[in-house]
Chain A
Amino acid sequence: MRTICLLLCLIFILFGWLSLKAADEENTSIPLAPIPSEARRLVLETASAFADDGFKVRDADWSFALDKAKPQFLRVTLFAELHYWFAVASPGSGMKLKIVLYDRQGHSVKGEAWQDTGTHDGSRAATGLIPKQSGEYFVGVESLDNSTDVNLDCSLVMAYK
């Protein structure tokens, strides 16, 4: 009788251990997708308008903190055959963001500008360009809002067609 009880106990312990192990494996084998930042969510929402228009949105973003006094710059290589749009967004509402494109010499290049009129969440801006020449360009992002001196969480994406 004592042996049977002992055996039953062992079976229960073994069963419990196996269940825990399986649950643990299940937890580790289903990876959690990274939670996108609010800025990224907003910029992807903005860029979806370009995707609807046949643009391919690059599956990557540039996340950065923007200070009013310090514009941020990103190097990119653009091709003359393509049409590009760059979009930026920040969760803070009512901020005036601006994207300026520069050629490799650092001269600003005129593109199509779009700025949110406050009808969407957060703050958003976008600039489109069909480059005259293929090569290196710079994407500059700045805040035009005088009341903002804190670092704004921003996210930028690019699309092409």
Chain B
Amino acid sequence: MTESQKQGALFSDDLSIPSPGEVFAALNASCHPNWVTLLTPATAPVTTDRAQLALAVGVLAANGYIAVEAQDGQQVKNIGREMMSLAKALGVSESLTGRGSSLIEFAEDNAWDSLAAELEATENEIKTTMRDQKDRNLIVLTSAAAWLRGTEVATQLVLIDPNPQGLAVIRQPDLARHLVLQLDALPPRMKNNPLLAKVQQTFAEMVTILDSMGVTPESDRSKLQQIHDAAAGLVKEILNVSGGTPSPVPSPFPAAATMQGGSKP
């Protein structure tokens, strides 16, 4: 493969960014998380800012995957409802009427694999409608926010249980760099949005930190903490959660306890 072929390779909003389900599957293999402890009640922000709404779709989609991993049907239903209200606020809810009822139906049947697939389909349908409505710029925000929430969770897990495999899931400077480029390509009117300016700045800082990281979590603990705090703070701002300061990482818990409470092996 030539250098020009590498440079010309497509970066697709849909496939080049790993889905939260993919990130969490990799974390399941490396960290064996207790997903129940990672669940956070999340409600859609009350705002008319379309950029913030698009970011919130990504965060809520990632939260939906966490609820699926935790096998918490009620939480999945709540998140599904919040995603529907976001879609309505964005004016992209017309094609999603069936999705909401499918999410509820699968949650009631504990059909976790179908729920994960339905969550991804819901997120993608919102993105497709954005594309159809010439709101293509919002798509990258949704994908970036989902990855941001995934990074927040991944750093939390590796801080609690330091292991190189978990760190390898987080250490993706190339992906972060591409997201920075995509955000940089947004039209100036969007980049003037203070929240988006902060998203772009945070991602740029994350690239610098990720580039300087080694392979052992112990030596990179302060860098992991920096990434976690930045991601957690931004997620809270996206969801309009009061008190923008990030929550501290919970203290490590015994390995045996992590396997209780309905988490998947």
Q: Which residues of A contact B (CB under 8 A)?
A: 29, 31, 33-34, 56, 58-62, 64, 71-77, 79-82, 102, 104, 106-108, 133-136, 138, 140, 158, 160-161
Q: Tally chain B residues at the interface, Cβ within 8 Å.
A: 41
B interface: dominant SS: helix
Stretch at the interface among B24-32, B183-191, B217-225: B24-32
A79 to B21, CA, bound (A): 12
Contacting residues, chain A, for B120 (C-beta < 8 A): 58-59
Q: Within B146-205, which residues are at the interface with A (CB < 8 Å)?
A: 165, 168-169, 171-172, 174-175, 178
How far is the CB of A33 from the nearest CB of chain B, in Å?
Answer: 7
Do B94 and A138 touch across chains, with their CB atoms under 8 A apart? no
Do B172 and A135 touch across chains, with their CB atoms under 8 A apart? yes
- Nearest chain A residue, comparing its CB with the CB of B170: A134
Contacting residues, chain B, for A138 (C-beta < 8 A): 1, 5-6, 9
A134 to B163, CA, bound (A): 14
A155 to B141, CA, bound (A): 25
Do B94 and A31 touch across chains, with their CB atoms under 8 A apart? yes
Do A73 and B6 touch across chains, with their CB atoms under 8 A apart? yes
Contacting residues, chain A, for B29 (C-beta < 8 A): 81-82
How far is the CB of A144 from the nearest CB of chain B, in Å?
Answer: 16
- Nearest chain A residue, comparing its CB with the CB of B174: A136
Do B26 and A71 touch across chains, with their CB atoms under 8 A apart? no
Q: Which of A71, A75, A81, A160 contacts B16 (CB 8 A)?
A: A75
Given contacts A59-B124, A75-B11, contact A81 B26 (CB under 8 A): yes
Do B25 and A161 touch across chains, with their CB atoms under 8 A apart? yes
How far is the CB of B38 from the nearest CB of chain A, in Å?
Answer: 18
Contacting residues, chain B, for A58 (C-beta < 8 A): 14-15, 19, 22, 120
A136 to B172, CA, bound (A): 8
Contacting residues, chain B, for A29 (C-beta < 8 A): 94
B256 within 8 A of A: no
Do B95 and A79 touch across chains, with their CB atoms under 8 A apart? no
A133 to B10, CA, bound (A): 21
Q: Which residues of B contact A (CB under 8 A)?
A: 1-3, 5-6, 8-12, 14-19, 21-23, 25-26, 28-30, 94-95, 113, 116-117, 120-121, 124, 128, 165, 168-169, 171-172, 174-175, 178
Do A74 and B10 touch across chains, with their CB atoms under 8 A apart? yes
Do B165 and A80 touch across chains, with their CB atoms under 8 A apart? yes
Q: Which of A61, A73, A77, A104 contacts B10 (CB 8 A)?
A: A73
Choose among A58, A72, A80 the residue with the greatest number of B CB atoms under 10 Å from its CB.
A58
Q: Which of B15, B95, B172 contacts A60 (CB 8 A)?
A: B15
The 24 sampled A-B contact pairs (Cβ below 8 Å) are A31-B95, A56-B21, A60-B14, A64-B10, A73-B6, A73-B10, A74-B12, A75-B11, A76-B15, A77-B175, A79-B25, A79-B26, A80-B165, A81-B25, A81-B169, A102-B1, A106-B5, A133-B168, A135-B172, A135-B174, A136-B172, A136-B174, A136-B175, A138-B9
Given contacts A60-B14, A134-B172, contact A160 B124 (CB under 8 A): no
A149 to B14, CA, bound (A): 28
A71 to B174, CA, bound (A): 22
Contacting residues, chain B, for A34 (C-beta < 8 A): 128
Choose among B3, B9, B17, B174 the residue with the greatest number of A CB atoms under 10 Å from its CB.
B9
Do A77 and B172 touch across chains, with their CB atoms under 8 A apart? yes
Given contacts A75-B16, A77-B16, A106-B3, contact A59 B117 (CB under 8 A): yes
How far is the CB of A30 from the nearest CB of chain B, in Å?
Answer: 9
Contacting residues, chain A, for B22 (C-beta < 8 A): 58, 79, 82, 160
- Nearest chain A residue, comparing its CB with the CB of B3: A106
